[in-house]
Amino acid sequence: MKNILVLGAAGQIAQQSIHLFLEELGVNLTLALRNAKRFSHFVNNPRIKLVEADVRDKDVLSDLMHNQDVVYANLSGDMASHARNVVRAMQECELKRLVFVTSMGVYDEVPGEHFGSILQPYRDATRIVEASGLDYTIIRPAWLNNRNEINYGTTEKGEVFINPDATVSRKSVADLIVNVALNNSHIGASLGVHQR
């Protein structure tokens, strides 16, 4: 069995990812969110552990990381602080595998767009993860939609972001997250995710 800790489990991409993870028989999930009552429909699922937790509390994060194989962080808010806490907790627990979601544009890879200060927290978080020494994969999605489809392509760090004006489905981003987490692929990569 592979044990995966999902930080920010209430997010829309994370919810899509949870359903895709559960399609895989060899996966157990620990879902960390600030209000576990939101996920009461998972209470009786033997493959899911619900935990009320705040990623701002590094001690709680460290406790959550014991016996995990992968940390998948899909967070919002003070992204740099969140990234620092996740990285420190993983380093203390000697847990290596991290999938961390930020945003397109953090490398100014979108032609004609610089997004200014709005992306600075995501840029800072990206740098923290890249400097962590962990086996990370950074996911940088385009603008998102809720279509029930899996249809996407990826670009690597250093490549121009493809099709930035089109929205990509949250389900597509979730599919990439699940594949990267389960297959241990794209370690040390930063993947832009666009509508194909």
- pLDDT score for 103: 95
d(CA 142, CA 196): 11
Please state which of the four CATH numbers 2.60.120.380, 1.20.1050.10, 3.40.50.300, 3.40.50.720 is assigned to the domain occupying 2-195: 3.40.50.720
Which residue ranges make up each domain of the chain? 2-195
pLDDT at 34: 87
> Which residue in 84, 72, 85, 97 sits closest to 18, CA to CA?
72
- pLDDT of 145 > 80? The answer is yes
Summarize the confidence of residues 109-137 as an average pLDDT.
91
Give the pLDDT confidence of 46-98 residue by residue, as tens digits: 999 999 998 988 889 999 999 999 999 999 999 999 999 999 999 999 999 99
pTM of the model: 0.95
> What is the model's pLDDT at position 113?
76
- As a whole number, mean pLDDT of residues 98-124 equals 90
Q: What is the pLDDT of residue 144?
A: 97
Vertex 100: Cα angle to 161 and 139 (nearest 5): 20
